[in-house]
């Protein structure tokens, strides 16, 4: 039996885009520029999905507001302008988005990225046209707070029972739980499957073809 939905909300990094290496390398470059104590790759990957304010509070809890502001500025510079590390949509993402859009679903993004970073990548990938609304961590509370989801649903006039959140981190799934929204986990991103399943998603998928198939077979446009 299929489940009806009107609104599908995607996380960005690790869900639609293979960007872990770029994020980690940009953070490492910013840390080195400012001569801060180094952090491991795992420590830097762990904060993907959070807003930068929340991420830096975890990476450098002893850091001053001035140090956090400087690190934020240098990270954004590297990510938007200077990084040689490529990041690309996972294969099949654009086709999936076009298909869902054509079928009449509302599509949205709720991301830990800042607005500047998301707008840059939407323009670079030419995918902004598929989304009806997007929300970023620097214009809302960061995940796992539910504000981004609540604002998206309010903007589109969609109820919680007709909304699905898709993400690769526990931050995404906990946000969905807090907003009273069903979630779907993707296991090919940052957090391991056991951690995702602890958040009680409807199901999980292992790659974009499986995600596309799941949405086509389990979900239909709500009446």
Q: Does residue 104 sit in helix, strand or coil? A: coil
pLDDT given for residue 1 in this prediction: 39
Q: Tell me the mean pLDDT in the region 40-66.
A: 92
Q: For the chain, give every domain's residue range.
A: 3-18+90-221, 20-82
Q: State yes or no: pLDDT of 171 exceeds 70.
A: yes
Q: Is CATH 1.10.150 the right assignment for the domain spanning 20-82?
A: yes
Q: Does residue 18 sit in helix, strand or coil? A: strand
Q: Which two tokens stand for residue 109?
A: 């993004």
Q: Tell me the mean pLDDT in the region 107-134.
A: 94
pLDDT given for residue 223 in this prediction: 39
CATH code for the structural domain at 3-18+90-221: 3.40.50.1000
Q: Tell me the mean pLDDT in the region 186-201.
A: 95
Q: Which residues are tagged catalytic?
A: 11, 13
pLDDT given for residue 2 in this prediction: 53
Q: Tell me the mean pLDDT in the region 64-81.
A: 91
* Structure confidence by residue, pLDDT tens digits, 4-38: 568 999 999 999 999 899 999 999 999 999 999 99
pTM for this predicted structure: 0.90
- Please give the span between the terminal C-alpha atoms of the chain, in angstroms, as a whole number: 15
DSSP codes, 126-170: T-GGG-SEEEEGGGSPPTTSSHHHHHHHHHHT--GGGEEEEESSH
């Amino acid at each position: 039996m299929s489940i009806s939905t009107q609104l599908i909300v995607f996380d960005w990094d690790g869900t639609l885009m293979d960007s872990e290496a770029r994020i980690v390398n940009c953070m490492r470059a910013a840390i080195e520029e400012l001569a801060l104590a180094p952090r491991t790759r795992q420590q830097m990957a762990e904060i993907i999905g959070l807003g930068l304010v929340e991420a830096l509070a975890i990476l450098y809890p002893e850091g001053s507001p001035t140090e956090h502001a400087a690190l934020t500025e240098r990270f954004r510079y590297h990510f938007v302008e200077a990084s040689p590390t490529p990041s690309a949509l996972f294969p099949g993402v654009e086709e999936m988005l076009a298909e869902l859009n054509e079928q009449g679903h509302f599509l949205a993004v709720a991301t830990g990225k800042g607005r500047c970073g998301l707008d840059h990548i939407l323009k670079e990938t030419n995918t902004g046209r598929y989304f009806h609304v997007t929300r970023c961590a620097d214009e809302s509370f960061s995940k796992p707070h539910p504000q981004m989801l609540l604002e998206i649903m309010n903007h589109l006039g969609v109820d919680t029972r007709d909304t699905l959140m898709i993400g690769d981190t526990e931050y995404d799934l906990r946000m969905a739980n807090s907003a009273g929204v069903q979630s779907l986990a993707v296991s090919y991103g940052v957090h391991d499957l056991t951690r995702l399943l602890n958040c009680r998603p409807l199901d999980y998928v292992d790659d974009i073809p499986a995600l596309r198939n799941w949405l086509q077979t389990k979900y239909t446009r709500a009446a």
